[in-house]
């Protein structure tokens, strides 16, 4: 079937774009592989009106709301390829089926590239989290750690004392200058320079970390920024420009949410330096509306 718009990615950004398009009565197909980035967490915070709700529940409610619009269809699966097809685009699924549309919205999100550090995968989204705005309040005044997996960790270590007593595990990744060290100490941050050998989880929480020299550091929560990569190669296949940012690559979009390929729009984590659920919802809705208006011939 020929659609007006295909949205690849049916999580917060994709659903929000679908909501705008369903309300504009456009024939919209949302293709989703069902691997939301925050599926490891029990609760999501910072999204006004839904603060503290389970991430899966927010997505479930969102999908039900969008599904109520009769011009929107859903397809559970993975879009393997996308390419220009005449004036529009063709998207082919892993199973081989191809769908076409006049416009394409990429809301594919990113993948956190977790390194092979023992205990990290098991604790991810539980005792180990990436964002103090998302999960800091719940562990306020407890023993907090910041694990350096990339240089940006120094910034996080400097922020975290606003939530509680902080130990910065530089882990052989960050080499502090004298002035950085002084600034962190002035913020009350304890600095541990031995590399981390293992994260010690305790059920759904954290016990601490074991260092390479065998010592342990007792902690109640660990914050760590993880390098990310785009969750799908579709943007690259289409020839969209991709920018390498400090945390990982993002799809380049202009102020209207359009990529460098006319007719291809993008939203959510895949386009954002500071990634968040409310940011994904906001950019998705905006891009949905912009993509709709791009289908209307100008009045002049
Ligand atoms: C552990 C953890 C906890 C978090 N907690 C919070 C929080 O409390 N508050 C907050 O604001 N943010 C939180 N975040 C960040 C939040 O998860 C993201 O900002 C948000 O999920 C971005 O939404 P999105 O729609 O852009 O991408 P995602 O939610 O990652 O969804 C992308 C969707 O696209 C699909 N997809 C990708 N490629 C394809 C393809 N080729 N074909 C079909 N489908 C595809 C994926 O399967 C997925 O369903 C957390 C992140 C993590 C890792």
In CATH, what number is assigned to the domain containing residue 281?
Answer: 3.50.50.60
Q: Whose CA is nearest to atom 8 of ligand 1?
A: 44
Residue 216 lies in a domain: yes
Q: Are residues 140 and 183 in the same domain?
A: yes
**Which among 75, 108, 149, 228 is the best mutation to test ligand 1's pocket, defined by most ligand atoms within 8 Å of the CB?**
108
Which pLDDT does position 300 carry in this prediction?
A: 81
Q: Which residues line ligand 1 (CB under 6 A)?
A: 8-14, 31-38, 40-41, 44-47, 78-79, 107-109, 112, 125, 129-130, 134, 231-232, 234, 268-269, 275-278, 280
How far is the centre of ligand 1, averaged over its atoms, from the C-alpha of 109 (Å)? 5
Ligand 1 atom closest to residue 268's alpha carbon, by position in its atom list: 26
The sheet carrying 216-218 orders its strands as: 196-202, 205-211, 216-218
Say how many Å lie between the CA of residue 43 and the centre of ligand 1: 14
Ligand 1, atom 41: closest residue by C-alpha: 79
257 CA distance to ligand 1 centroid (A)?
18
The answer on 70 and 17 residing in a single domain is yes
Last residue of a domain, one of 175, 198, 223: 223
Task: Quote the DSSP letter at residue 172.
Answer: T
Closest CA to 90 of 3, 210, 178: 3
Domain co-membership, 95 together with 63: yes
Burial of 193 (0-12, 13-18, 19+ CB in 10 A): middle
Is 234 in the same domain as 103?
yes
Q: Which of 168, 198, 223 is the last residue of a domain?
A: 223
Amino acid 1: pLDDT: 75
Q: What is the pLDDT of residue 270?
A: 98
The reply to whether 9 falls in a domain is yes
5: β partners? 28, 103
Of 71, 61, 83, nearest in space to 30 by CA? 71
Instruction: State the distance from the centre of ligand 1 to the C-alpha of 275, rounded, in angstroms.
Output: 9
- Among candidate residues 165, 190, 223, the one where a domain is terminated: 223
Domain hosting 102: range is: 2-112+227-294
Q: 36 CA to middle of ligand 1, Å?
A: 4
Do both 239 and 204 map to the same domain? no
Which of 15, 36, 123, 127 to mutate to test ligand 1, by most ligand atoms within 8 A of the CB atom?
A: 36
Q: Which regions in the chain score pLDDT beneath 70? A: none
Other Cβ atoms less than 10 A from the Cβ of 87: the count is 7
According to the model, what pLDDT value does residue 214 have? 98
Domain presence at residue 153 = yes
Decide the pairing of beta strands 79-85 and 72-76: unpaired
Decide if 300 is inside a domain.
no
- Count of domains for the chain: 2
Q: What is the pLDDT of residues 101-117, one digit of tens each?
A: 999 999 999 999 999 99
In a domain? residue 187: yes
Helix or strand (DSSP H, E) at 283? helix 277-294
What is the reported pLDDT for 248? 95
Do 274 and 127 fall into the same domain?
A: no
Confirm if 225 and 152 have CB atoms less than 8 A apart.
yes
- Say if residues 267 and 286 touch (Cβ distance below 8 Å): yes
Note the pLDDT of residue 227.
93
Verify that 107 and 194 share a domain, yes or no. no
Instruction: Indicate the pTM of the whole model.
Output: 0.97
Residue 129 and residue 97 share a domain? no
Q: Find the angle CA(105)-CA(64)-CA(228) to the nearest 5 degrees.
A: 45
Give dist(CA 89, CA 86) in Å, integer: 7
């Amino acid at each position: 079937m020929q659609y007006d718009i295909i949205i690849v990615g049916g999580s917060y950004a994709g659903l929000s774009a679908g909501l705008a398009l369903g309300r504009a009565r456009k024939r919209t197909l949302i293709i989703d592989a069902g691997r939301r980035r925050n599926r490891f967490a029990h609760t999501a915070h910072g999204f006004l009106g839904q603060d503290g709700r389970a991430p899966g529940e927010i997505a479930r409610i969102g999908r039900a709301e969008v599904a109520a619009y009769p011009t929107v269809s859903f397809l559970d699966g993975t879009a393997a390829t996308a390419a220009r097809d005449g004036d529009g685009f063709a998207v082919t699924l892993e199973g081989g089926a191809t769908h076409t549309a006049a416009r394409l919205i990429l809301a594919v999100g990113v993948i956190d590239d977790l390194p092979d550090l023992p205990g990290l995968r098991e604790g991810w989204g539980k005792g180990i989290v990436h964002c103090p705005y998302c999960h800091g309040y719940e562990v306020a005044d407890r023993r907090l750690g910041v694990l350096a997996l990339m240089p940006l960790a120094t910034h996080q270590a400097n922020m975290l004392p606003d939530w509680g007593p902080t130990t910065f595990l530089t882990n052989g990744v960050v080499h502090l200058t004298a002035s950085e060290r002084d600034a962190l100490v002035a913020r009350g941050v304890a600095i541990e320079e031995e590399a981390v050998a293992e994260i010690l989880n305790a059920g759904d929480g954290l016990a601490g970390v074991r260092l390479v020299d065998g010592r342990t550091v007792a902690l109640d929560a660990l914050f760590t920024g993880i390098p990310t990569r785009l969750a799908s190669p579709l943007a690259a296949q289409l020839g969209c420009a991709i920018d390498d940012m400090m945390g990982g690559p993002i799809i380049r979009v202009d102020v209207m949410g359009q990529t460098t390929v006319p007719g291809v729009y993008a939203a959510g984590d895949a386009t954002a330096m500071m990634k968040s659920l409310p940011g994904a919802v906001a950019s998705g809705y905006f891009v949905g509306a912009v993509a709709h208006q791009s289908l209307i011939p100008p009045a002049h």
